[in-house]
């Protein structure tokens, strides 16, 4: 595909961390003629305009989406069920609807059936983010060197898939096409379980008696601090992820609980070799991530 504009008009539904980062990246790379947003937060719309992230931010969903060649849904996944029917009548024939939601089967379940004939639905998930939210938190480089997983349902128009893939490549991402069910399983272990563990550890610390809590903050650099960064992630977004990827998360949690019990036994019975073997294997995993430049 040649360089230049990929879409004459892109409309973002939700202009928080991910939406505003992609809008900035599209602008920086000259991939869109015009950028619009509809966000139900008037504050977010005003901020996005003030920051120059988009060209227009009407208070009306239909107006924002009108004539858009690409509509990027960038809201928490729990919002998709209500959004779909409101969005559908405003989509122009030939438009592409894509998204960035962290769970794919639920988004496909909620948005897929309401997308009109002649409009192409290409779900996606950039594996990039921070613990911050809102349009101020976004930055154009967020997706550089990161993977974006595209999960087209069977029979999705291949040209539309390629166009969305090309957009992600041109903002610096590597693209992988994946089955939505497989995506949700992979993300349950790589993202959702780690967040659940971080939320749990930090939650446990907040339940300690006052004197211990103060020591936790003071000496947090010994490990706790790294969990607090993850546990500072957006509460609404993460509530929706756990409610919408229930089966896969519960399966990984079951496995994790079994492994934790095994470690508990090893500590109780003084089985140093068991502990050392595991810690040696996990250290190798870290090296693999560093070598893959995903650290
Ligand atoms: P965010 O910063 O909180 O932005 C979401 C924006 O959408 C907010 O301004 C929110 O307004 C607005 N919104 C919520 N419901 C809406 C609706 N029904 N109609 C219009 N606007 C609505 O969230 P984000 O981090 O960009 O996440 C957006 C999506 O990206 C989520 O689906 C998430 O799973 C996915 N994702 C996130 C990350 C990450 O690290 N953050 C990474 C990859 C993918 P209010 O806040 O006022 O409700």
Task: Tell me the per-residue pLDDT of 228-271, one tens digit each, with 9 for 90 and over.
Answer: 999 999 999 999 999 999 999 999 999 999 999 999 999 999 99
Domains and their CATH numbers in the chain:
7-178 (3.40.50.720), 182-291 (1.10.3660.10)
Pocket lined around ligand 1, Cβ cut-off 6 Å: 13-14, 16-19, 39-41, 44, 74-77, 79, 83, 100-102, 125-126, 129-130, 133-134, 234, 237
Mean pLDDT score across all residues of the chain: 96
Q: Determine what percent of the chain is predicted with pLDDT higher than 90.
A: 91
Task: Tell me the per-residue pLDDT of 70-127, one tens digit each, with 9 for 90 and over.
Answer: 999 999 999 999 999 999 999 999 999 999 999 999 999 999 999 999 999 999 999 9
- Residue 3 confidence (pLDDT): 65
Which pTM was predicted? 0.94
Q: How remote is the CA of residue 163 from the centroid of ligand 1, in Å?
A: 23
Give pairs for 49-52: CB < 8 Å, separation 24+: 51/20, 51/135, 51/136
- Residue 211 confidence (pLDDT): 84
Residues near 172 by beta carbon (within 8 Å), at least 6 away in sequence:
25, 141, 143, 144, 145, 146
Burial class (CB in 10 A: 0-12, 13-18, 19+), 150: buried
Task: Tell me the per-residue pLDDT of 54-79, one tens digit each, with 9 for 90 and over.
Answer: 999 999 999 999 999 999 999 999 99
Tell me how crowded residue 272 is: count the other CB atoms within 10 A of its CB. Answer: 10
Residue 2 above 60 pLDDT? no
Best of 11, 17, 148 for a ligand 1 pocket test (most atoms within 8 Å of beta carbon)? 17
210 — pLDDT class (breaks 50, 70, 90): confident
Task: Tell me the per-residue pLDDT of 136-193, one tens digit each, with 9 for 90 and over.
Answer: 999 999 999 999 999 999 999 999 999 999 999 999 999 999 999 999 999 999 999 9
Compute the distance between CA of residue 276 and CA of residue 77 in angstroms, rounded to an integer: 40
Tell me how crowded residue 78 is: count the other CB atoms within 10 A of its CB. Answer: 18
Q: How remote is the CA of residue 258 from the centroid of ligand 1, in Å?
A: 34
Q: How remote is the CA of residue 96 from the centroid of ligand 1, in Å?
A: 20
């Amino acid at each position: 595909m040649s360089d230049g504009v990929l879409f004459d008009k892109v409309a973002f539904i939700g202009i928080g961390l991910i939406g505003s980062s992609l809008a900035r990246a599209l602008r920086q790379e000259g991939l869109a003629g015009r950028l619009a947003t509809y966000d139900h937060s008037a504050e977010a719309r005003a901020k996005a305009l003030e920051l120059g992230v988009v060209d227009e931010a009407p208070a009306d969903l239909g107006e924002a989406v009108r004539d858009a060649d690409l509509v990027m849904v960038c809201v928490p996944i729990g919002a998709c069920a209500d959004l779909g029917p409101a969005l559908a009548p405003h989509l122009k024939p030939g438009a592409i609807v894509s998204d960035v939601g962290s769970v794919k089967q639920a988004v496909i379940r909620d948005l897929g059936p309401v997308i009109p004939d002649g409009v192409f639905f290409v779900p996606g998930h950039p594996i990039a983010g921070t613990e911050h939210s809102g349009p101020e938190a976004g930055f154009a480089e967020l997706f550089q060197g990161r993977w974006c997983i595209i999960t087209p349902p069977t029979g999705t128009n291949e040209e539309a898939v390629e166009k969305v893939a090309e957009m992600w490549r041109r903002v610096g991402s590597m693209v992988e096409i994946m089955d939505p069910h497989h995506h949700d399983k992979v993300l349950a272990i790589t993202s959702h379980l780690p967040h659940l563990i971080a939320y749990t550890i930090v939650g446990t610390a907040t339940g300690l008696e006052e004197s211990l809590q103060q020591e936790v903050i003071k000496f947090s650099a010994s490990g706790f601090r790294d969990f607090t960064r993850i546990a500072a992630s957006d509460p609404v977004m993460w509530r929706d992820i756990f409610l919408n990827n229930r089966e896969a998360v519960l399966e990984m949690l079951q496995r994790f609980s079994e492994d934790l019990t095994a470690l508990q036994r090893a500590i109780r019975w003084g089985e140093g070799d068991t502990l050392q073997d595991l810690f040696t294997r996990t250290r190798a995993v870290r090296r693999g991530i560093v070598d893959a430049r995903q650290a």
